[in-house]
């Protein structure tokens, strides 16, 4: 049956819900910074599953960890402990300076948990305050609550009625944030760098200011580090650039190196879930925990993040040179989460031309390109990417 189907309708995409524009390419294999399609064409991958494959495609440590764990124990219900769950919890909490963690399957689910935890804490410690101030153009996920927390234009019209309780202020504006805090506020939730909005940096003063503001009012600081965490900006977590510790932090994307894994971390004083308040069938399953542990071990090796910082500086320098040559704008971002301002709505066209030339790039906004290669990308691969990009821009 399978064979007949494949012979008569080769690669028919119609049974798939049409939720995004996809090129016709079908990818069959990945290795490091390279992807291969069903025609054998190879592509240099500077998307890496949206900043997910932090060690590149099918890295040996991840493949062996998953393979070994699959032969040992794949799943035993979240109602029981398993060894990699305990090990990963110990590793992440120690690194983050936060006492407890809840493992989830996606970033949105981790943020959803953060919202629940803050609201529960508000019931217990702040007279039932439940509002969480978020920022314009923020991206926190695609569940109903995380969409309400997000500040993406048009999203408030998509699936009404919307979940209330997420007043919004401009990103990076500390005064606006301070003015928005009321007795109904339980938390402030931001991304250290707005990735989906086009890699919009905060200055360190903003982060320090948010920490001081939340402390002054006795409310929670929630950092969504789903894109910026796990070494993406050159530190294990972006908040470490300023030395602040949030009350709640969420991780996703890079944490599993490509498998569905996310985490909600919090200070012990904030962890107020009672039994039954939070859970999930696949949460903390040994297979994903083993993957997360393998990724964490690689990122924690001496010199790994230093090399990522060096690669980020090299990429940033190359992009600036290219920008000067073609009369484009600034390079934004930190570490290996970078964007190039194109000063014109040419991002989609350039990304399409790059794909033709064998390079995967993402245009988060029409006027910018985003670069999120593997954290172990080589200087040679960066040079190669810059050459293809040069050609694509010239086209």
DSSP per residue, 1-31:
-HHHHHHHSTT--TTS---S---S--EEEEE
Q: What does the alpha-carbon distance between residue 88 and residue 291 come to, in Å, rounded to a whole number?
A: 10
Q: What does the alpha-carbon distance between residue 213 and residue 190 come to, in Å, rounded to a whole number?
A: 13
Could you say which residues in the range 316-375 bind ligand PLP, by CB under 6 A?
none
Q: How far is the CB of 139 from ligand PLP (least distance, A)?
A: 5
Site membership for ligand PLP, residue 131 (CB under 6 A): no
Which of residues 353 and 363 has its CB atom nearest to ligand PLP in the complex? 363
- Which of residues 48, 227, 323, 368 is near ligand PLP by CB under 6 A? 227
Question: Which are the contacts of 55, defined by CB distance < 8 A and separation ≥ 6?
Answer: 61, 62, 257, 295, 298, 374, 375, 376
Residue 275 in contact with residue 122, Cβ under 8 Å?
Answer: no
- Which of residues 252, 258, 364, 373 is near ligand PLP by CB under 6 A? 252
User: Tell me, what DSSP letter sits at residue 32?
Assistant: B
Q: How far is the CB of 223 from ligand PLP (least distance, A)?
A: 10
Q: How far is the CB of 107 from ligand PLP (least distance, A)?
A: 2
Could you say which residues in the range 162-191 bind ligand PLP, by CB under 6 A?
191
Tokens read off for 277: 């308040």
Other Cβ atoms closer than 10 A to 211 = 20
Which of residues 138 and 342 has its CB atom nearest to ligand PLP in the complex? 138
Pairing relationship of beta strands 168-169 and 131-135 according to DSSP bridges: parallel
- Which of residues 33, 82, 106, 233 is near ligand PLP by CB under 6 A? 106
Shortest-Cβ-distance residue relative to ligand PLP: 107
Other Cβ atoms closer than 10 A to 2 = 6
Site membership for ligand PLP, residue 107 (CB under 6 A): yes
Question: What mask, x for binding ligand PLP by CB under 6 A, covers residues 184 to 223?
Answer: -------x---xx---------------------------
Q: Quick one: how far is CA 67 from the chain centroid? A: 25
Binding site for ligand PLP (CB under 6 A): 106-108, 111, 139-141, 191, 195-196, 224, 226-227, 252-253
């Amino acid at each position: 049956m399978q064979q007949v189907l494949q012979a008569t309708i080769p690669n028919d995409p119609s049974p798939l819900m049409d939720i995004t524009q996809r090129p016709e390419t079908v990818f069959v294999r990945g290795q490091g910074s390279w992807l291969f399609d069903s025609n054998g064409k190879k592509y240099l991958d500077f998307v890496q599953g949206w900043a997910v494959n932090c060690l590149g495609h099918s890295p040996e440590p991840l493949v062996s960890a998953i393979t070994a764990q699959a032969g040992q124990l794949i799943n035993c219900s979240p109602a029981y402990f398993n060894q990699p769950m305990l090990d990963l919890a110990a590793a992440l909490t120690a690194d983050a300076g936060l006492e407890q963690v809840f493992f989830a399957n996606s970033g949105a689910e981790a943020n959803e948990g953060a919202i629940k935890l803050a609201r529960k804490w508000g019931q217990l410690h702040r007279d039932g305050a439940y509002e969480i101030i978020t920022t314009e153009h923020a991206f926190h996920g695609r569940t109903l609550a995380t969409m309400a927390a997000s500040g993406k234009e048009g999203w408030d019209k998509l699936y009404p009625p919307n979940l209330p309780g997420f007043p919004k202020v401009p990103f990076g504006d500390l005064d606006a944030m301070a003015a928005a805090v009321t007795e109904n506020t339980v938390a402030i939730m931001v991304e250290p760098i707005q990735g989906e909005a086009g890699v919009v940096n905060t200055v360190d003063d903003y982060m320090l200011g948010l920490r001081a503001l939340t402390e002054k009012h006795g409310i929670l600081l929630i950092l969504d580090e789903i894109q910026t965490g796990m070494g993406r900006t050159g530190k294990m977590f972006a908040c470490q650039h300023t030395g602040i510790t949030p009350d709640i932090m969420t991780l996703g994307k890079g944490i599993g190196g490509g498998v569905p894994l996310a985490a909600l971390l919090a200070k012990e004083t904030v962890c107020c879930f009672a039994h039954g308040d939070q859970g999930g069938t696949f949460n903390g399953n040994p297979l994903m925990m083993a993957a997360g542990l393998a990724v964490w071990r690689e990122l924690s090796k001496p010199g790994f993040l230093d090399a990522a910082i060096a690669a980020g500086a090299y990429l940033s320098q190359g992009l600036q040179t290219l920008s000067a040559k073609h009369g484009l704008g600034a390079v934004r971002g930190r570490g290996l989460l970078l964007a190039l301002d194109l000063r014109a709505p040419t991002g989609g066209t350039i990304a399409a031309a790059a794909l033709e030339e064998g390079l995967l790039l993402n245009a988060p906004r029409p006027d910018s390109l985003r670069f999120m290669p593997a954290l172990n990308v080589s200087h040679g691969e960066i040079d190669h990417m810059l050459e293809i990009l040069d050609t694509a821009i010239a086209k």
